[in-house]
Amino acid sequence: MKTARFTPLKYSIIAVVLAIAAPWCVQAQQESTQRFKDVSVAEAEGYALQFGCVSGPDSGAMGLHFVNLPLVAATSSGASPLDARRPQIVIYEPTPGGRLQLIGADYLVLADAWNTAHGGSPPELMGQLFHYFEAPNRFGLPAFYTLHVWAWKDNPNGAFVNWHPNVSCTAFAGQAP
Over residues 9-50, the pLDDT tens digits come to 544 444 444 444 445 455 655 677 999 999 999 999 999 999
Give the 3-state secondary structure of residue 142: coil
State residue 126's pLDDT score. Answer: 87
Predicted local confidence at residue 59, as pLDDT: 83
Mean pLDDT estimate for the chain: 86
Distances (CA, A) of 107 to 1, 56, 70, 73, 99: 39, 20, 13, 12, 23
For the segment 139-160, the average pLDDT, to the nearest whole number, is 95
pLDDT 10s digits, 102-119: 999 999 999 999 999 999
Can you give the pTM of this predicted structure? 0.81
Task: Specify the higher pLDDT residue, 138 or 79.
Answer: 79
Q: Is residue 153 predicted with pLDDT exceeding 50?
A: yes
> Do residues 67 and 50 lie in contact, with contact meaning Cβ atoms separated by under 8 Å?
yes
What pLDDT, on the 0 to 100 scale, is given for residue 135?
A: 96
Torsion of CA 93, 59, 154, 96, to 10 degrees: 30
- Res 22: pLDDT: 47
Contact by Cβ (8 Å): 132, 31: no
In whole angstroms, what is the distance from residue 26 CA to residue 109 CA?
20
- Residues 6 or more apart from 29 whose CB is under 8 A from it? 84, 104, 105, 126, 149, 151
